[in-house]
Amino acid sequence: MLNIEQISKVFYPGTVNEKVAIEYIDLRVLEGDFITVVGSNGSGKSTLFNLIGGTFPVTSGKITLNDKDVTHTPEYKRAFTIGRIFQDPTVGTAAKMSIEDNMITAYKKGMKGLKISLNNTKRAYFKEELKQLKIGLEDRLKDNVGLLSGGQRQALTLLMTVLSKPQMLLLDEHTAALDPRNAQIVMDLTTEFIEKYHLTTLMVTHNMQHAITYGNRLIMMDEGKIILDVRGEEKKQLTVLKLVDLFKKIKHQEYSSDEDLLAP
């Protein structure tokens, strides 16, 4: 469903600030995949998402979504297929708008341009949808979103993303800013929605246990490259210790091959 071929991203090319953020990555994501993405700060995880989502143009390479070349498709068009959720709970919703107004905006996006207005039928539908979140928002349709906690807001963002009917989800550390209890609530809702709506998902997380527990495939990024790609049974056998060991081993191999190169 998503095919990435040899994409790279260089920021400020040809200047003293030149930064190769993504270095010739290939990635084939199948329909229904739930891929967790790990890697240290600055390894290129968010940049990869920005390239997939069309926030930045690629420096080179090709991105195909459902067999359509979207390499140069603007972000707002890709957003009909790709739903994104960020770490900051204030990003996905409009604070000064009510819950119902936020929801109708997301719902309209899902209806792809059909003329739709907020009425009592829609309100009843939104109420039902909000009940699924199990955090009491169904009785607060007219409250401004700015009144909600970070956890409530991120749960609402998740629901709105689903209402906009994407085929694919890009989750960029979307529970990292929440306390452990709310992080777990949002994570549980995430897996529930992914299954219910058959969403192909890429999820960046700093939580190694989450990266192992969730999804059918795990990739690790380092210095703009994918250095580890584990799936299926092999992924099920992973532990945090094994994952850290693998990382060390790969890094050491790189180091020793550099040494070999430098050896006389």
Ligand X SMILES: Nc1ncnc2c1ncn2[C@@H]1O[C@H](COP(=O)(O)OP(=O)(O)O)[C@@H](O)[C@H]1O
Contact between 182 and Mg ion per CB under 5 A: no
Half-sphere exposure of 216 (CA within 13 A, CB side): 12
Residue 21 touching ligand X (CB under 6 A): yes
Structural Rg of the chain based on CA atoms: 20
Q: CA of 99: how far to CAs of 95, 128, 145, 179, in Å? A: 9, 13, 6, 22
Instruction: In whole angstroms, give the CA distance from residue 27 to residue 170.
Output: 14
Stretch that binds ligand X, among 37-45, 81-89, 125-133, 146-154 (CB under 6 A): 37-45
* Residue 47 is a binding residue for Mg ion (CB under 5 A): no
* Contact by Cβ (8 Å): 152, 135: yes
Q: Round to whole Å and give the CA distance between 7 and 51.
A: 9
Query: Least distance from C-beta 173 to ligand X, angstroms?
Result: 8
Q: Provide the 8-state DSSP code for 133.
A: T
> Is position 46 an interface residue for Mg ion (rule: CB under 5 A)?
yes
Question: Binding ligand X by CB under 6 A: which of 36, 46, 161, 205?
Answer: 46
The closest residue (CB) to Mg ion is: 46
Residue (21 or 133) nearer to ligand X, CB: 21
By CB under 6 A, which span of 34-42, 90-98, 178-186, 248-256 interacts with ligand X?
A: 34-42
Residues that bind ligand X (CB under 6 A): 11, 19, 21, 39, 41-47
Which residues make up the interface to Mg ion (CB under 5 A)? Answer: 45-46
